[in-house]
């Protein structure tokens, strides 16, 4: 009996060993990437070519990777952390796990898109938009403010994806500008009025298919589909709130270097590449259609120019993901 189990177990261990070694790395720069995988796979090779530094991407979602960094603490193998939205980055910063970035790395990015601490920096941004089905609703009927969607006349007409980090960043924006009580009332209105989907893609597709007239998403989902095929966007249009409305909230994707990073210089080079002109131009030219934050680089039309968005003034370090999750649990979205 014993020898048998020993044989079986050692075969198992040997097999596991092979699978394990196949994904561990030597001296590469380890990037915990919560940004879209496809975008980083476009940018990283250019960086590797320019600098000769090898990069290993580990992909996940904002909160998942943030939680993992917190769990791993100082022993984390990560050198760089990239997020889709800033609240997850702020959570890691609160744990004191981020190193201060050198000035030349953050300098290309306007001050309002990075925290005063310089513990991380924004590198791309996405705008909140309302997507509407052009057969179901006319431009004149569209709401003036994102907050209007909580009103009874929108019952059964709106959709959104409250379980994702994207929508939660939008809620964090509302929370920062409107305060807790107003945000809670607004969320309760949304809960009463809305259809909940999982994922912005699903919201876009459902609006386009006419299942619901309008949906709250980020701008690039619609533009990307337009650029690719129009399959899930041809029956819909985007409505930008502007006027510093909470619905014009711009969410910032963050990049930071871990204090425990083994390859700190390379890590800073990588973040510097993302904020610098070459990297930002690469972002702008990619399929992503997210807004570069370096003012030297602009997205091409038809994407609405970044300068015309007129977002509300929200300090990126004021966005509190924990408070948002609590509120959304209270209201019953989670």
Residues that bind other proteins (CB under 8 A): 1-5, 8-9, 11-12, 15-16, 18-20, 23, 32, 56-61, 63-68, 71-72, 75, 163-165, 168, 196-199, 201-202, 204-206, 209, 211, 232, 325, 328-329, 332-334
- Tokens 């990297």 appear where? 279
Q: Decide: helix, strand or coil at residue 124.
A: strand
Q: Which is nearer to other proteins, 162 or 276 (CB)?
A: 162
Q: Which is nearer to other proteins, 113 or 218 (CB)?
A: 218
- CA dist 140 → 15, 143, 156, 248, 311 (Å): 63, 8, 19, 18, 21
- Sorted by sequence, the CB contacts under 8 Å of residue 207 that are 6+ apart come out as 131, 132, 133, 159, 213, 214, 215, 236
Closest approach of other proteins to the CB of residue 106, in Å: 26
Q: Which is nearer to other proteins, 77 or 242 (CB)?
A: 77
Q: Alpha helices of the chain — where are they, by DSSP H?
A: 2-23, 37-51, 62-72, 86-94, 103-106, 165-178, 180-193, 200-208, 219-228, 264-275, 277-285, 321-331
Q: Which is nearer to other proteins, 265 or 329 (CB)?
A: 329
Q: Which is nearer to other proteins, 64 or 310 (CB)?
A: 64
Q: What is the DSSP letter of 263?
A: S
Q: Which is nearer to other proteins, 27 or 141 (CB)?
A: 27
Q: Which is nearer to other proteins, 179 or 332 (CB)?
A: 332
For β-strands 120-133 and 236-239, DSSP reports them as antiparallel
Closest approach of other proteins to the CB of residue 112, in Å: 27
Q: Decide: helix, strand or coil at residue 14.
A: helix
β-sheet bridge partners, residue 333: none
- Tokens 């590198």 appear where? 123
Closest approach of other proteins to the CB of residue 267, in Å: 17
Closest approach of other proteins to the CB of residue 163, in Å: 4
Closest approach of other proteins to the CB of residue 298, in Å: 27
Closest approach of other proteins to the CB of residue 61, in Å: 6
Q: Which is nearer to other proteins, 18 or 138 (CB)?
A: 18
Contact 117, 318 (CB under 8 A): no
For the purposes of burial, counting CB atoms within 10 Å of the CB of 131, is it exposed (0-12), middle (13-18) or buried (19 or more)?
Answer: buried
Closest approach of other proteins to the CB of residue 229, in Å: 9
**Alpha-carbon dihedral sign for residues 183, 187, 190, 192:** negative
Closest approach of other proteins to the CB of residue 236, in Å: 14
């Amino acid at each position: 009996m014993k020898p048998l189990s020993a044989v079986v177990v050692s075969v198992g261990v040997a097999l596991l060993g092979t699978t394990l070694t196949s994904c561990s790395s030597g001296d590469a720069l380890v990037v915990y990437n919560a940004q879209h995988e496809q975008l980083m796979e476009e940018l990283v090779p250019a960086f590797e070519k320019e600098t000769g530094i090898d990069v290993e991407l580990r992909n996940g979602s904002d909160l998942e990777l943030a939680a993992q960094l917190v769990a791993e603490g100082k022993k984390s193998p990560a050198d760089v952390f990239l997020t889709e939205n800033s609240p997850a980055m702020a959570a890691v910063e609160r744990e004191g796990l981020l190193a201060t970035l050198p000035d030349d790395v953050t300098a290309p990015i306007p001050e309002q898109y990075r925290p005063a601490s310089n513990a991380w920096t924004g590198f791309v941004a996405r705008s909140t938009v309302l997507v509407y089905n052009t057969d179901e609703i006319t431009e004149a009927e569209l709401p003036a403010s994102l907050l209007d969607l909580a009103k009874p006349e929108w019952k059964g007409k709106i959709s959104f994806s409250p379980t994702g980090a994207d929508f939660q960043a939008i809620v964090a924006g509302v929370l920062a500008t409107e305060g807790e009580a107003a945000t809670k009332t607004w969320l309760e209105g949304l809960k009463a009025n809305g259809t909940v989907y999982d994922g912005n893609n699903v919201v876009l597709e459902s609006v386009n298919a006419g299942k619901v007239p309008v949906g709250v998403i980020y701008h690039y989902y619609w533009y990307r589909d337009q650029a690719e095929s129009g399959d899930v966007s041809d029956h819909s249009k985007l409505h930008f709130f502007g006027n510093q409305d909470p619905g014009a909230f711009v969410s910032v994707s963050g990049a930071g270097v871990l204090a425990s990073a083994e390859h700190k210089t390379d890590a800073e080079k990588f973040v510097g590449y993302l904020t610098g002109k070459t990297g930002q131009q690469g972002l702008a030219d990619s399929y992503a259609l997210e807004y570069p934050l370096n003012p030297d680089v602009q997205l091409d039309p038809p994407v609405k120019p970044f300068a015309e968005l007129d977002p509300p003034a929200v300090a990126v370090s004021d966005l509190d993901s924990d408070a948002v999750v609590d509120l959304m649990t209270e209201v019953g979205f989670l």
